[in-house]
Amino acid sequence: MSFLVSSEWLDEHRRDEHVRVVDCRFELKDAAAGHEAYVKDHIPGAVFIDVDKHLSAQAGTHGGRHPLPDMDFFAQVLSERGIDMQTTVVAYDDQGGMGAARFWWLMQYAGHTNTYVLDRSYTHWVKEGFPTTEEIPTPLMKQMKIDREPNQLVHLEEVKQQLRNEHVALVDARSYERYAGENEEVDAVSGHIPGAYHYFWKDVLREDGTWKSQDELRDHFRGLEGFDEVISYCGSGITACVNVLGMREAGIEQVRLYNGSWSDWISYPDLPIEKEPNTL
């Protein structure tokens, strides 16, 4: 099974009554950029979902920079966009999959397993000559009911308990420079959670920005096959979702998201940090 779909498949099925396309374009340093890009043009029929407003809650002292949204609120967001449990949903973005993968993961957490990600960026869609529009759709209201899947998520206390557990792999999706504490431009403290391995989230993509095949992803994540479970984290729970999706594509089923990620971890000054890289 794959959670990725091609441009050809999406163009063929985007008009289907049970299919909803979701635009998740998003920039970490410009909160308005995604919606502005959507208003300018998008895939016909696509609705917009905002990573900051709809896929995250407001940050507090703890919980990281992108806490999970209230799930009743998330259900309402989906309902207003014509999405329920029977809808086939395809998400896309223009940032290497981080917005679309965050949406995909939240849908998995919500119990909606019929959600997919376009296997390339919106820029690819345009360059390949597929249609775009400025028209904003007005889908019929649906009634989304959340059926939460708690096994998709891991919380701080469990991460602490799993430190140095040889059967559980912690995977850090940030750049190597941030992971190794060489250059931290986002968070106040540099380094990584002790014992974590580095798998940069962009490495699930080919050089042209399209997603690697399942065979390529199996090769990429082969070092994790011997673990009973993988915990994925990043800076704030966004790009870690790309690795979760990549691992699922590679056949690694026991993978969970530590949503608070590094920004949550360092909000507790007594927790240990590490800068020395770990190798498999």
Which residues are catalytic, by number?
234
Give all strands of the β-sheet with 88-92 in edge-to-edge order: 4-5, 115-118, 88-92, 19-23, 47-48
Burial of 148 (0-12, 13-18, 19+ CB in 10 A): exposed
Contacts of 279 (CB under 8 A, 6+ apart): 197
Tokens, residue 276: 């020395």
Residue 64 phi/psi, 5-degree rounding, is 90, 175
Tokens, residue 1: 């099974």
Please list the residues that pair with 230 across neighbouring strands. Answer: 169, 255
- Distance set, CA 98 to CA 55, 78, 120, 166 (Å): 12, 19, 12, 29
Please provide the DSSP assignment of 145-180 as one string. Answer: -----GGGB--HHHHHHHTT-TTEEEEE-S-HHHHT
Q: How many residues does the chain have?
A: 280
First to last CA, the chain: 27
Beta-carbon count within 10 A of 110 CB: 21
